[in-house]
Every structure is written in C-alpha cells, then in structure tokens.
Amino acid sequence: MKKANDTMKQTQEAHTANVRRFEIRNERCTAAMDRLGKLELEILQSFQKFSDIFERIQNKPEFRAFKHGDVTIPTYSPEDLKKVSVGAGVLLGGLSGAALGTAGGFAAAGATTAAVMALGTASTGTAIASLSGAAATNATLAALGGGALAAGGGGIALGTTILGATTLGMGLLVGGIIFNFTGNKLSAKADEAMEQMKKAKTEIDRICAYLESLHMTEERFEKALSATNNVYMRHLAQLGNLVILTGKTDWNEFTDSEKLMTENTVQLVALLFQMCKVQLVLSSGSTTEVNRINQVDIDLAINSSDAFLKEKGLTALT
C-alpha cells in the first residue's frame, strides 16, 4: 500500500512539474505573440493617417512596386488600406482585458486577414464591427479559428484543459491538440496514473518544443517588423509636416528629396501591409498534431524588409 502511495505521489509531482513547465513556456510565447499582434494592428490602424495625408497630394504619379533582385513588394489599393485600418481599429478596441493569446491569435492568422474579417459578419449574422469591443474581438477570433475549434471538437466547450480555460487565441497558436489535453487530475489508480502522466509528458514535450520554436521565430519577425515600422513612422511624420503643416500639396512643387521621401513612405506602407499579411502559424487541422510555423513566408518577409531598407539606404533609421 505504501509503495502504491509513494508511486502516486511521485507520479503527481512529476505531472505537476510537467504542467508547470508547459505553463511557463506557454506564457512566454503567448505574451510575445500578443505583443506582435498588437503591434501589427497598430501599424494597420496607422494607415488611416497615411491615407488622409497622401490623398491631399495633387498631381502625384502612379508609384511603382519595389523590385530589387528576387524581392518584389506589390502595390496596394487605397480601398484595401482603408478597410484594414478600420478593421484594425475595431480589434484594438477589444484588446483591453482580452484573454491571453487573443492578439497573438491575430498574428498567427495574419493581422491583415483578421482586420478585414472584423468588417464582416459573425456566425450569428451580426456585423462584427457593430458589436462592443470585446465581443467584436471574440467574434473575429471565432471566425478565424474555425479550423482549430472543429479539430478540438467544440473548443471552448471543452475548455477545462491543462490551462484551466483554453482561449480561442490559444487554439489558433497551438492547434486543436490544446483542447484535448489531460488536465491536472490523474486517475486514483497508481498504474493508470503513471500511464496518464507519461502520455501527458509526451504531448507536453512536443508542445513545449513547438512553443519554443514559435517564440524564437516571433522574435526574428518582430525585430524586422519593428525596424521597418520605425523607419515608416519617421517618414509619416515628415510627410505630415510637409503636407499638413506647410500646406504643400502640389507634387509638381515638391523638391527631389521631398518626392523621394514620399515615394519611400508609399513603399514602406506596401512593405508593412505585406508583412502584416504573413500568417505566422499554419493550422494542422488535427487534434493530435501541433500547428506548423510558416517559416517560408516569414523568412521571405524578413528578407524583403532587409533588402528594401538596405537598397534605400534607410537601415540607419531603424
């Protein structure tokens, strides 16, 4: 009897330690992804200010897409910019007090996609943008997370998982597997408890390795995005000073340096628009597999940012 009790105690202690290891790794990764998601939404929202300034410039030419070597940054339509800026504003309005992983879920799915979706309709048929802040945010997460929820067999309804209450955002980050986790309670039978602990450890090991990899990838992407955004914000301030403060709105009166600054700003918007489109995580669509990190598109976005800033001689401004 004592041996069985000792085994149970050791099993429970091992399981508790494994769960804590997961929680720490999860909190770190999710906080980083939340930070990235918020930054992306703030960038997208800022496009409204850019549009307001840019539209005042008369006689401006059509600006070409940036091309250098293998890197091409496509142009965008003014309508697209307005859509994402309004949608991003809707989502930002619901982030205060939102569950851990909410903003990160938007980054995982692509903030641009999330912002456009925020202007659509919820599954209830209600316009998402007409909902109050948190409700709009959650409706957008639900629309984005259809795959993760389907894989989880109902998602939030099964939310008494290892996290206590798994959020929709976590489903987007990790995948349907997160909804099918063994919680803290183990069987009262020692041999069954041992098997449950071992099975949970195997899944925790896989998810922790995934979260660590996602965290490292997020840091690389956020560094490139922040550097690009820093340059863009300086250019946006300069363009605002030129057009709004000095009242210079005729392209034909711009100096060469003012024209170059304007063109750079337009292309920085295009670059940021593309970077915020990147879906960091690809859904596994499975309850037994973690999601996949979208390394190809992430690397392409980082390389595009580096190439643009170097070619334009703007790296010193980052």
- Taking only the tens place, the pLDDT of each residue in 104-162 is 888 988 999 888 888 877 666 677 777 777 777 777 777 776 544 443 333 333 333 33
Q: What is the DSSP code (8-state) at residue 129?
A: G
Nearest Cα residue to 95 out of 26, 148, 149, 41: 41
CB 165 within 8 A of CB 130: no
Q: pLDDT tens, position by position, for the chain (318 residues)? A: 677 678 888 998 998 898 889 889 988 999 999 999 999 999 999 999 999 999 999 999 999 899 988 889 988 899 999 999 999 998 998 887 777 788 888 898 899 988 888 887 766 667 777 777 777 777 777 777 654 444 333 333 333 333 333 456 777 778 767 766 645 567 778 888 888 889 889 888 999 999 999 999 999 999 999 999 999 999 999 999 999 999 999 999 999 999 999 999 999 999 999 999 999 998 877 777 888 999 999 999 999 999 999 999 998 777
Provide Rg for the chain, Cα atoms. Answer: 23
**Domains of the chain by residue range:** 2-317
CA distance 178 to 192: 22
144 contact partners, CB below 8 Å, separation of at least 6? 105, 106, 109, 113, 114, 117, 172
241 contact partners, CB below 8 Å, separation of at least 6? none
235 contact partners, CB below 8 Å, separation of at least 6? 261, 264, 265, 268
CA distance 26 to 289: 16
- In this prediction the pTM is 0.87
